[in-house]
Structure 1
Amino acid sequence: MNPTLIWDSETAILIDTGTPGQLEQIRAAMDDCGVSMDKLKAIILTHQDTDHIGSLPEILQESDGGIEVYAHQMEKPYIEGNLPLIKVNLDSMAWQLESLSEDECGKVVAYLLENSPKAKVDRTLADRQELPYCGGIQVIYTPGHISLYLKQSKTLVVGDAMFSVEGILRGPHPQSTPDMNTAFRSLEKYLDYDIKSVICYHGGLSRYNVKEQLQELVRKV
């Protein structure tokens, strides 16, 4: 999993928050970058999955009201707990579940759905909206996700809209994507941007000929 931290001299922004219980890991990673938690002013959620919103309540409790939460308007009722999460991502918890029986895993899923992380969304986002932080962040809506284009570094943060393997972009993950055709078609939006690197939540950073890789993925539709 690859939450993304961006910052400048005034503000730090966290994109996605890992699974429940990862506050200390996030804090340690920020400390390694020389960014303290009290500099964190906003969290942007790419979508509602538990491995993206998991540590959100802990981080907000730590901040004592100093952080604004952003998410797409369609994701807001799930993140706030007014609607049940569509799914629980167990891939990120595989090491914790490997010793459990199928019945026990089912109970874990049921528990997570019933007791999913919840937090208030302060501001909702729309396609092509631009946020003023850190040189400009543009929102790109793709079904079930938002991606974020960081204008200053020409970096695209895609959440789960794509994954990568050793820097090679693989497109949407079939196991977690109900409509692969629509998901692939939505990648065409990325071609409107001058992208130098891509950060996938699963797989991390891709810097190798990303424009050509994106064009090739779109041609597969």
Structure 2
Amino acid sequence: MNGKRLIVGISGASGVAIGVRVLEMLAHAGVEAHLVTTHAADMTIGYETGRKPADVHALAHTVYKVEDVGAALASGSFATMGMIVAPCSMRTLAEIATGVTSNLLTRAADVTLKERRRLVLVARETPLHLGHLRNMVAVTEMGAVVAPPVPAFYAGLETMDEVVTQAAGRALDLFGIAVPDVKRWGEDLTKGRRKGPRKD
């Protein structure tokens, strides 16, 4: 594989701004983003961001139709760093947990797991019922990482844009992709015991 590739899935859950920010960060980091969005995601992009789906698609290196189950992403021979689904709806989570692959997004996630590559699911729902929790346990046992976009209160974030940036950046940390603008405890935060080692 020449260069780095990461599959980015955006489902129809609320929080599509996180997936958009992931695409922007990957472009800045020089990582190829191979994007697949569901039809519900394309609708949510319009509702929540005011952008057209085509504008978001333009941020990716390559875009695939969600119905194209014969695309490169459907094969383990297509080498990638792994896959992030941001946001990950409970329906998408359920399909991945049960191995049901009704579209390219969930097929790509299944391939990521079978190839033992990193799969990060930015699960977006609250409150959670027992079925949601059991599906999270199932995908974790299969090797995925469930990473809900929980606000980093310690970072003193003041705007929704900062919350989105922090959530996207911390998710990319799980692939070893360092991006700017992420607030890190013990590094660039100034309150409390964050300036250096403790001196007794």
- TM-score clears 0.5: no
Q: TM-score range by the shorter chain?
A: 0.3 to 0.5
TM-score, with structure 2 as normaliser: 0.39
TM-score, with structure 1 as normaliser: 0.36
Bigger fraction of residues in helix: 2
Bigger relative contact order (CA 8 A; separation at least 6): 2
